[in-house]
């Protein structure tokens, strides 16, 4: 196993050098979206939205998108675990792969939707992820620390936020 790669002590947030130092960093930081100084989670979710719209044209069926989401979850677990360890922070805000995979899940299960529906899904997901009401706060408290458990925790609360988003969308569609 390679030794941790830490950002420069003078840099409070990871920089491009840290992003490119390890493939896990590149993935966990959302290919650079997590370097945003303002609202990296929102930037990561916006990147996920755009990437999903592009990917759905390249993938031949919804099954392929589901397989991509499943694989991205496993790879993301590794990437988030490694990057959090290398930053020596349990759940750094600059790690945005959790937002990416969870929002892909929302879009995959809620599509087809028009632009306004997608925007509503984006806003709902950001609300649940940022505010962490009820079940999302519970999920956020379940898996803490550095290591594989903490890496899963980075993803877990976002999956619960995705579930809450999908629940609101389902109720909204059927009311």
Residue pLDDT, tens place only, 73-128: 999 999 999 999 999 998 899 999 999 999 999 999 999 999 999 999 999 999 99
Does the structure show a pLDDT above 90 at 12? no
Q: Is the pLDDT of residue 4 over 70?
A: no
159-171 confidence digits (pLDDT tens): 999 999 999 999 9
**Cα–Cα distance between 125 and 73 in angstroms, integer?**
17
Cβ-count burial 68-103 (b if 16+ within 10 Å, e if not): bbeebbebbbebbbbbbbbbeebbbebbbbbbbbbb
Q: Distances in Å between the alpha carbon of 41 and those of 52, 61, 114?
A: 16, 28, 23
Please determine, for residue 7, whether its predicted confidence score (pLDDT) is greater than 70. no
pLDDT value of residue 9: 43
**Which pLDDT does position 34 carry in this prediction?**
95
Higher pLDDT, 137 or 161: 161
Domain boundaries, the chain: 16-174
pLDDT tier at 10 (50, 70, 90 boundaries)?
A: very low
Could you tell me the CA-to-CA distances from 37 to 14, 17, 75 in Å, in that order? 10, 16, 25
Contact present, 132 and 142 (Cβ < 8 Å) = no
- Judge whether residue 133 has pLDDT over 90: yes
DSSP string, the chain: -PPP-PPPTT-SS--HHHHHH-HHHHHHTGGGGGG-SS-HHHHHHHHHHHHHHHHHHHSSSHHHHHHHHHHHHHHHHHHHHHHHHHHT-SS-TT--HHHHHHHHHHHHHH-S--HHHHHHHHHHHHHHHHH--HHHHHHHHHS-SSSHHHHHHHHHHHHHHHHHHHHHHHHHHH-
pLDDT tens profile 26-62: 999 999 999 999 999 999 999 999 999 999 999 989 9
């Amino acid at each position: 196993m390679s030794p941790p790669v830490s950002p420069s002590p003078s840099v409070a947030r990871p920089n491009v050098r840290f992003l490119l130092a390890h493939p896990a960093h590149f993935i966990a930081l959302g290919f650079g979206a997590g370097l945003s100084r303002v609202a990296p989670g929102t930037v990561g979710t916006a990147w996920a939205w755009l990437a999903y719209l592009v990917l759905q044209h390249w993938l031949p069926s919804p099954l392929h998108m589901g397989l991509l989401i499943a694989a991205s979850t496993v790879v993301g677990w590794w990437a988030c675990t490694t990057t959090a360890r290398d930053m020596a922070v349990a759940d750094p805000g600059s790690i945005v792969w959790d937002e990416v995979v969870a929002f892909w899940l929302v879009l995959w299960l809620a599509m087809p939707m028009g632009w306004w529906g997608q925007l509503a899904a984006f806003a709902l997901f950001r609300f649940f992820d940022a505010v962490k009401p009820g079940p999302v706060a519970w999920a956020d408290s379940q898996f803490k620390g550095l290591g594989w458990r903490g890496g899963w925790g980075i993803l877990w609360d976002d999956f619960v936020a995705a579930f809450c988003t999908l629940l609101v969308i389902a109720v909204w569609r059927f009311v």
